[in-house]
A and B are shown apart, each in its own frame.
Chain A
Amino acid sequence: MTGQEQGVLSGRSDFQAIAAWVRPDSTVLDLGCGDGVLLKYLEQTRNARGYGIDIDDANVLACVRNGVNVIQSDLERGLAGFDAGSFDCVILSQTLQAVRHTEEIVLEMLRVGREAIVSFPNFGRWDLRLQVALGRMPVSAELPYQWYNTPNVHLFTIADFESFCSGHGIRVLERVALHRGRPVGALANLLGSIAVYRIEKPR
């Protein structure tokens, strides 16, 4: 990875892990794509053919400014405009904790995509558990909000997500837990602040 590429992705520690799992020349749908910087990177380095989805006007404009395809749409209403299996990979980067229809969205991702990549802040990390044990809602680099202004509505742990997957017949293909951008080894649910999963749902 060049310095420039690292610069592009420096804002989000999970982007490198996600990009590493996107196969060259694949078609990618990035849900909650923000300003489209991940898609732009995937197009440049993986020759991916990508589309972002975002509901926010400012993000849609930022994507157009970045030369990235973006479809303004509300994820909470599902992916009705997209056919089953029409994308190689559907990505949801650090958005799952902020949606209301969590279960539906993961299942929609796995309907539209042959596989999906999901990243989320791990609520199981030890320092967050400690803050809760001390009687306060946790605040960290990955969860920088106070309880009263957080956009996150469904906080969950690595263990929760794996239980969700096995309960819904979702196969975990790969998993990496990160802290400060670096993979952690053992005790992922204690040491990882961000988790990234590559998953599929056998049809």
Chain B
Amino acid sequence: MTPRNHIEPRSVGAVRPQTLHFAEPLRLRSGAVLDSYDLVYETYGTLNAAKSNAVLACHALNAAHHVAGYYAEDPDNVGWWDNMIGPGKPVDTEKFFVIGVNNVGGCFGSTGPKSVDPKTGKPYGSSFPVVTVEDWVNAQARLADRLGIDSFAAVMGGSLGAMQALQWTIGYPERIRNSIVVAAAPKLSAQNIAFNEVARQAITTDPDFHGGDYYGHGVVPRRGLRLARMIGHITYLSDDVMMEKFGRALSSGSIGFHFDVDFEIESYLRHQGDKFSEYFDANTYLLITRALDYFDPAAAHDNDLSRALAAARARFLVVSFTSDWRFSPERSREIVKALLDNRRDVSYAEIDAPHGHDAFLLDDRRYHALVRAYFDGIFERL
């Protein structure tokens, strides 16, 4: 048996986001330049004297810097990876200093389309430049600079967050010692891009979109955002889990011969869409789906992912979920193959979980035991 040297898992407790302003321009992959920007972030645990125990948790499509804990004034607002990060949790904040940051282009406090452009005094809206995974990682590296972190013990993420964890090993190989790549793909497939395009079309064809400059019109393209979220949500779940959760259950017990809600799944999707459209910014949704589409580190290397990862020096933990059809295990195996080609240290686990792509956010015993064991190893090597 392994020693039970960890404490009972609990929450990091009440947390408070912080903001840093960056006056040094950020040159983006598109060639555009963001003259200055804010990054909002949270931290959990304590940075050790050697500053060697920092972990960056990268968010995916619809999350942000609020990774763990809750807000004192809003205790129900629990961080999106709270089951993973905290005292005694797989990523133990008694041992590690964990950072969550809202990426540039986001809508939760970091500079994004709904922020005011200092040049015009109005929200950026449609003028906000397209940002990429590479740009996000570059901005994250500057945050690390400001926090005095030369090298991360680990950068981790699921889905789009995993792409950032992967990009760190390519862009800053000397600044990341471990990369935890969960439910990932080394690039989107045509089908993935197609889903994103439907979501974007839903937003941009909403009459309230106003070419992206809806802020001045006192409206938001809620209908589009709602549809975007609904289609996204379908892709996060597996057919099996959706069938198990909702089946063909009817909201009112019998079919109504109308086009309003009949089935529970319709009600669920509408609820998810409504909730999302209350708090998420449509322009950010466009930007983030584009960042997903554009991520393709192999493209600059004749589509050879092995060559793209040749610079990587980190150790890797790659995890996929059997029922994830959005980023299937085969996509993770492409990453593993490229790492093997480069003789990198890599472990790969394929978790037999029914929940589809969303499994990376859920509390699966095998998945969490694996991450815990991997982080125990990181801690031993600190």
Chain A residues with CB under 8 Å of chain B are: 27, 49, 51, 57, 60-61, 63-65, 67-73, 81-83, 86
Q: Give the distance in Å from the alpha carbon of A71 to the alpha carbon of B366 in the complex.
A: 15
Report chain B residues within 8 Å CB of A63. Answer: 347
Report chain B residues within 8 Å CB of A65. Answer: 2, 373, 376-377
Chain B residue nearest in CB terms to A36: B347
Known A57-B366, A65-B2; judge A70-B340 contact (CB<8 A). Answer: no
Within 8 A of A (CB), among B330-344: 333, 336-337, 340-341, 343
**Taking chain A's interface residues, is the majority helix, strand, or loop, or is none over half, making it mixed?**
mixed
Tell me if B369 and A61 are in contact (CB < 8 A).
yes
Tell me if A70 and B348 are in contact (CB < 8 A).
yes
B78 contacts partner chain A, Cβ-Cβ < 8 Å: no
Q: Inter-chain contact count A-B, CB under 8 Å?
A: 55
Report chain A residues within 8 Å CB of B366. Answer: 57, 61
Interface pairs A-B: 3 shortest CB-CB: A64-B373, A65-B373, A71-B348
B231 contacts partner chain A, Cβ-Cβ < 8 Å: no
Report chain B residues within 8 Å CB of A69. Answer: 345-347
Within 8 A of A (CB), among B364-378: 366, 369-370, 373-374, 376-377
Tell me if B347 and A70 are in contact (CB < 8 A).
yes
Sample of 12 further A-B pairs with CB below 8 A, known A60-B347, A67-B377: A57-B349, A57-B351, A57-B352, A61-B366, A61-B369, A61-B373, A65-B376, A70-B347, A70-B348, A71-B336, A82-B337, A82-B340
Chain B residue nearest in CB terms to A29: B340
Known A61-B369, A61-B373, A81-B336; judge A71-B347 contact (CB<8 A). Answer: yes
Known A81-B333, A81-B337; judge A64-B347 contact (CB<8 A). Answer: yes
B197 contacts partner chain A, Cβ-Cβ < 8 Å: no
Categorize the interface residue count of chain B.
20 to 34
Q: Give the distance in Å from the alpha carbon of A57 to the alpha carbon of B351 in the complex.
A: 8
Minimum distance in angstroms from B373 CB to a CB of chain A: 4
Minimum distance in angstroms from A85 CB to a CB of chain B: 13
Tell me if A60 and B343 are in contact (CB < 8 A).
no
Report chain B residues within 8 Å CB of A68. Answer: 347
Q: Give the distance in Å from the alpha carbon of A60 to the alpha carbon of B366 in the complex.
A: 10
B350 contacts partner chain A, Cβ-Cβ < 8 Å: yes
Tell me if A51 and B373 are in contact (CB < 8 A).
no
Report chain B residues within 8 Å CB of A27. Answer: 343
A-B contact pairs, 17 of them (CB 8 A): A51-B340, A57-B352, A60-B370, A61-B369, A63-B347, A64-B349, A64-B377, A65-B376, A65-B377, A67-B377, A70-B348, A71-B346, A71-B347, A72-B349, A73-B350, A81-B337, A82-B340
Tell me if B349 and A60 are in contact (CB < 8 A).
yes
Report chain A residues within 8 Å CB of B345. Answer: 69
Chain A residue nearest in CB terms to B333: A81
Chain A residue nearest in CB terms to B375: A64
Report chain A residues within 8 Å CB of B373. Answer: 61, 64-65
Give 1 or 0 for each of B213-250: 1 = CB within 8 Å of chain A CB: 00000000000000000000000000000000000000
Q: Give the distance in Å from the alpha carbon of A83 to the alpha carbon of B342 in the complex.
A: 12
Q: Give the distance in Å from the alpha carbon of A199 to the alpha carbon of B331 in the complex.
A: 33
